[in-house]
Structure 1
């Protein structure tokens, strides 16, 4: 099975994970965005009080330069570890 198929299966499996910490949710989000879109391609949120949007942006931006395939593998590994 190729990594893209395994990634898509992990994305589906992530929806049935037990409740996760905000830290784990940010990791999942940023790895998903990096794997599916590559480096961050949107402007940083300008509303200082939109903490969730800023945290998501920063988490995704922290993965700048990570290849899509590497991000897919990290996402797959994280979902596996959280499902145990």
Structure 2
């Protein structure tokens, strides 16, 4: 029962985190670095789709390769762990932004 409750809690926090990110205005002061964005992207993809499938994009697709690499690094991580880490990463970014603004 505790495992189920913990899983529900993580799923709930992940859903809330996605909603927050989705509703941020483009001009928001809440702007993660490129590295943080890639980390969040990889965690999101691992959480929602599991291990990456397919080949690494070609050398000329710099953005595609960076995204692919960010996701590939998380191979074998469970969906639940990726969700937990996504929330944690987002909270870390928010903390850094808060420090800058105060």
TM value normalised by structure 2: 0.74
> 1:38-77 alignment to 2 at 5 Å?
38-46=50-58, 48-77=59-88
2:12 alignment counterpart = 5
Cα displacement (A) at 1:14? 2.5
Provide the alpha-carbon RMSD of the alignment: 1.4
Gaps of 5+ in 1: none
1:29 alignment counterpart = 41
Name the SS of the counterpart of 2:31 in structure 1.
Answer: coil
* Runs of 4+ more than 3 Å apart: none
Which structure has more relative contact order (CA 8 Å, sep 6+)? It is 1
Number of aligned positions between the proteins: 83
Cα displacement (A) at 1:41? 1.8
Name the SS of the counterpart of 1:76 in structure 2.
Answer: helix
Cα displacement (A) at 1:2? 2.3
Structure with a larger share of its residues in helix: 2
TM value normalised by structure 1: 0.89
Gaps of 5+ in 2: 1-7, 96-102
